[in-house]
Chain A
């Protein structure tokens, strides 16, 4: 399969690009909700528009009422989200939770998917425990209790957790913290008794929760997939989420780069357009080159996910690590080349820096993923 978009994908990119640039723009969404200190961190009206566009259920199988599209298509939407810094639960709800629900029973799908597709409800995922992403270690416990389970423990960095009507929680049902087996995924409804959110605003104005489960009673039908066999589902979620967040990162990098290149074509100092200075030109050209490479490996990783390739996991980490490096470069160069005004809240370039910082951390930063590439390669 060639590594460029086919006609349908090109059309989707145009549609999503136009939609995000208009409806999802920085002014209409990010700044709008931030300046009102919105507790959700995103707009529900926009989310319903996502549903009308068919984005919310794009990864859901057609038999289950979705569009049955793949990672490549979800990535196209995510790149536009990144480029416009559009705050939305798309990555957590429509990519991560939707991927988990794919592995659920028909009952589980029937209960949760219709509202995900219609945009009525938003779902979250609770994976991390502690400050860094270490999904190999799951300590949060779900003990057998009657016909169901009793969930105890803490989760961190649950993006849009307090606004989510359901959270997919990875918990341990047997074995010890670092065992591969013995993990089970649960769909925990918002009103579950014993679950509490400590919701905090992050640097990029998004919201995330520290979630505490204090003996939360769950029915057996809250289980997604097999009891003790949740690692396989979790791995599928992680690959989809990492490749997806790489795509969003590519969008952030391209957005920051385009804005910066435009700026240095206009700003004058010493009687010259500063973009004439070779010191800036070479840095901009280097950045362009890196962004192109980051984009290519992200498309490659998405195609491998869709093809069910055994290399998908490795390339997901390569993409996540590469994009993190490159998007970081893009926003740092962006602020520096904007000079003093790059430090002001009035200009958007700083918003790219903030979003990049949060996205870097989500599902593993560049150091985690480079280390993972080394491990998977055998050193």
Chain B
């Protein structure tokens, strides 16, 4: 696509956003209800949220880079970048957020059958099914491949027993993509990447109360859950091959790390000026820390841009997402430490209206999980050592 075509697309996109993104949807996200997740039981917080979601859905802009036949808009990487830039320019919220978009979708695009893509990708793009991810177990955190949840082969179905933990929004999800052991003899080649309905008999969830006072994560229990091997012609209930789910999981972890790292352009803004404005006098040593942070975050923003540019043309090192995840999450923790420091006693308020129910302090505590979930910083450093620096025995 020529530059002039791209500029025409930019003008078109700008006009479309102007016409379809309501002003309320250009306000910063304040709380969980401002995020629209879709799903069977979804409700809209406002008419504006509904209008924005429906306009984006009909245009394919919930998943702009996915092919049109799967509910996307079929945008090229360059066009998708233009759309991201134009949305960022007006502060447009994502019309739909979901683990289906971020994680299952990319896995299906890569490993899925045509039948799976037709069904599941369209459901995700249209916000009809809300997915959750079943990876971690109480005994399998950083060492994920040791997972024990077992699916016993019963011919045309499995019977799944076990427990997952840190399942994000499992209590609100419709379906789960879940790593289940199907061969106890082979650690790496004994895991299947299964897809099944959370309404199945024997599935139960229990929210986990976190230090932030919120419960975005659950424990998820499977007691004799019957999972059929197929949902119809060309729609197997697993992604990739049986016993080869670890390949899919590794692929997806790459995506998760990119997402958490904020490589999509989120969380790279500077904070010094806004904190100084909001909080009045800033201690000179804190000002210096803020300046150092702003340097680091602007530099990381350039890294994110470079990383995405390189991914598009296959120039990025395959293990580079680990580095992005490490640097991005450590930076985000620092960001919130500084926001707390600048906010003083105001930032300590846990329930007040002025702080939207303790958004600052709860947000600060939430960020402590950034460098744990999706692979700890220590695991990221191990992977960089081994796969990029080629250090021995890691």
Q: Show the binding face of A for B, using Cβ within 8 Å.
A: 2-4, 261, 264-265, 273, 275-276, 278, 281-282, 284-286, 288-290, 292-294, 296-297, 299-301, 314-315, 318-319, 321-322, 325, 366-367, 369-371, 373-374, 377-379
Q: In the complex, A102→B146 CA distance in Å?
A: 64
Q: In the complex, A372→B8 CA distance in Å?
A: 37
Say whether A379 contacts B290, CB under 8 Å. Answer: yes
Q: In the complex, A276→B390 CA distance in Å?
A: 10
18 contacts between A and B (CB under 8 A): A2-B313, A281-B385, A281-B389, A281-B391, A285-B381, A285-B388, A288-B389, A290-B327, A292-B320, A293-B300, A301-B302, A325-B295, A366-B295, A373-B291, A373-B295, A374-B290, A374-B294, A377-B294
Say whether B276 contacts A3, CB under 8 Å. Answer: no
Say whether A288 contacts B384, CB under 8 Å. Answer: yes
Cβ-closest chain A residue relative to B296:
A322
CB-defined interface of B354-394 with A at 8 Å, one 1/0 digit per residue?
00000000000000000000000010111011001111111
Report which of B320, B384, B389, B393 forms a contact with A276, defined as CB distance below 8 A: B393
Say whether B270 contacts A377, CB under 8 Å. Answer: yes
Task: Kindly list chain A residues whose C-beta atoms are within 8 Å of the C-beta of B389.
Answer: 261, 281, 284-285, 288
Say whether B272 contacts A379, CB under 8 Å. Answer: yes
Say whether B392 contacts A289, CB under 8 Å. Answer: no
- Known contacts A275-B392, A282-B385, A314-B298; 7 further A-B pairs (Cβ under 8 A): A276-B393, A281-B385, A285-B381, A285-B385, A293-B296, A300-B305, A379-B276
Say whether A289 contacts B326, CB under 8 Å. Answer: yes
Task: Kindly list chain A residues whose C-beta atoms are within 8 Å of the C-beta of B381.
Answer: 281-282, 285-286
Nearest-neighbour CB distance to chain A for B62, whole angstroms, equals 26
Task: Kindly list chain B residues whose C-beta atoms are within 8 Å of the C-beta of A378.
Answer: 273, 276-277
Say whether A293 contacts B385, CB under 8 Å. Answer: no
Say whether A370 contacts B393, CB under 8 Å. Answer: no
Task: Kindly list chain A residues whose C-beta atoms are within 8 Å of the C-beta of B292.
Answer: 321, 325, 370
Report which of A3, A284, A322 forms a contact with B391, defined as CB distance below 8 A: A284
B187 within 8 Å of A (CB atoms): no
Nearest-neighbour CB distance to chain A for B225, whole angstroms, equals 39
B315 within 8 Å of A (CB atoms): yes
The list of the 6 closest CB pairs from A to B, nearest first, reads A3-B306, A379-B276, A285-B384, A300-B302, A297-B299, A281-B385
Cβ-closest chain A residue relative to B275:
A379
* A261-B389, A322-B299 known; A370+B384 contact, CB < 8 A: no
Say whether A284 contacts B385, CB under 8 Å. Answer: yes
Task: Kindly list chain A residues whose C-beta atoms are within 8 Å of the C-beta of B384.
Answer: 285, 288-289
Task: Kindly list chain A residues whose C-beta atoms are within 8 Å of the C-beta of B287.
Answer: 374, 379
Task: Kindly list chain A residues whose C-beta atoms are within 8 Å of the C-beta of B17.
Answer: none
Say whether B323 contacts A292, CB under 8 Å. Answer: yes
Nearest-neighbour CB distance to chain A for B388, whole angstroms, equals 6
Report which of B295, B303, B313, B391 forms a contact with A370, defined as CB distance below 8 A: B295
Say whether A4 contacts B306, CB under 8 Å. Answer: yes
Nearest-neighbour CB distance to chain B for A327, whole angstroms, equals 13
Nearest-neighbour CB distance to chain B for A297, whole angstroms, equals 4
Say whether A374 contacts B391, CB under 8 Å. Answer: no
Q: In the complex, A284→B389 CA distance in Å?
A: 8
**Number of B interface residues in the complex (CB < 8 A):** 45
Task: Kindly list chain B residues whose C-beta atoms are within 8 Å of the C-beta of A282.
Answer: 378, 381-382, 385
Q: In the complex, A373→B293 CA distance in Å?
A: 10
| Chain A interface mostly | helix
Say whether B291 contacts A289, CB under 8 Å. Answer: no
* A4-B313, A318-B295, A374-B291 known; A281+B394 contact, CB < 8 A: yes
Task: Kindly list chain B residues whose C-beta atoms are within 8 Å of the C-beta of A366.
Answer: 295
Say whether B305 contacts A296, CB under 8 Å. Answer: yes
Q: In the complex, A147→B225 CA distance in Å?
A: 96
Q: In the complex, A282→B379 CA distance in Å?
A: 9
B288 within 8 Å of A (CB atoms): yes
Q: In the complex, A321→B299 CA distance in Å?
A: 10
CB-defined interface of B314-332 with A at 8 Å, one 1/0 digit per residue?
0100001001001100000
Residue picked from B287, B299, B305, B394, most chain A C-beta under 10 Å: B299
* A4-B315, A374-B290 known; A379+B385 contact, CB < 8 A: no
* A281-B382, A379-B273 known; A296+B299 contact, CB < 8 A: yes
Task: Kindly list chain B residues whose C-beta atoms are within 8 Å of the C-beta of A300.
Answer: 302, 305-306
Task: Kindly list chain A residues whose C-beta atoms are within 8 Å of the C-beta of B323.
Answer: 285, 288-289, 292
Say whether A371 contacts B291, CB under 8 Å. Answer: yes
B183 within 8 Å of A (CB atoms): no
Task: Kindly list chain A residues whose C-beta atoms are within 8 Å of the C-beta of B272.
Answer: 374, 377, 379
Nearest-neighbour CB distance to chain A for B391, whole angstroms, equals 4
Say whether A370 contacts B299, CB under 8 Å. Answer: no
B153 within 8 Å of A (CB atoms): no
Say whether A276 contacts B306, CB under 8 Å. Answer: no
Report which of B276, B299, B382 forms a contact with A293, defined as CB distance below 8 A: B299
Report which of B294, B303, B390 forms a contact with A373, defined as CB distance below 8 A: B294
Say whether B306 contacts A296, CB under 8 Å. Answer: yes
Report which of B298, B312, B380 forms a contact with A297, defined as CB distance below 8 A: B298
Nearest-neighbour CB distance to chain A for B370, whole angstroms, equals 15
Cβ-closest chain B residue relative to A290:
B327
Task: Kindly list chain B residues whose C-beta atoms are within 8 Å of the C-beta of A322.
Answer: 295-296, 299
Q: In the complex, A315→B287 CA distance in Å?
A: 19
Task: Kindly list chain B residues whose C-beta atoms are within 8 Å of the C-beta of A3.
Answer: 302, 305-306, 309-310
Cβ-closest chain B residue relative to A321:
B295
Say whether A318 contacts B309, CB under 8 Å. Answer: no
Q: In the complex, A318→B303 CA distance in Å?
A: 13
Q: In the complex, A282→B385 CA distance in Å?
A: 7
Say whether A379 contacts B391, CB under 8 Å. Answer: no
B282 within 8 Å of A (CB atoms): yes
Q: In the complex, A65→B382 CA distance in Å?
A: 51
Say whether A288 contacts B388, CB under 8 Å. Answer: yes
Task: Kindly list chain B residues whose C-beta atoms are within 8 Å of the C-beta of A299.
Answer: 302, 306
* A282-B378, A285-B384, A377-B273 known; A4+B309 contact, CB < 8 A: yes
Cβ-closest chain B residue relative to A379:
B276
Q: In the complex, A41→B315 CA distance in Å?
A: 39
Cβ-closest chain A residue relative to B298:
A318
Q: In the complex, A296→B316 CA distance in Å?
A: 13
Interface residues of B in 259-313 (CB under 8 A from A): 270, 272-273, 275-277, 282, 287-288, 290-292, 294-296, 298-300, 302-303, 305-307, 309-310, 312-313
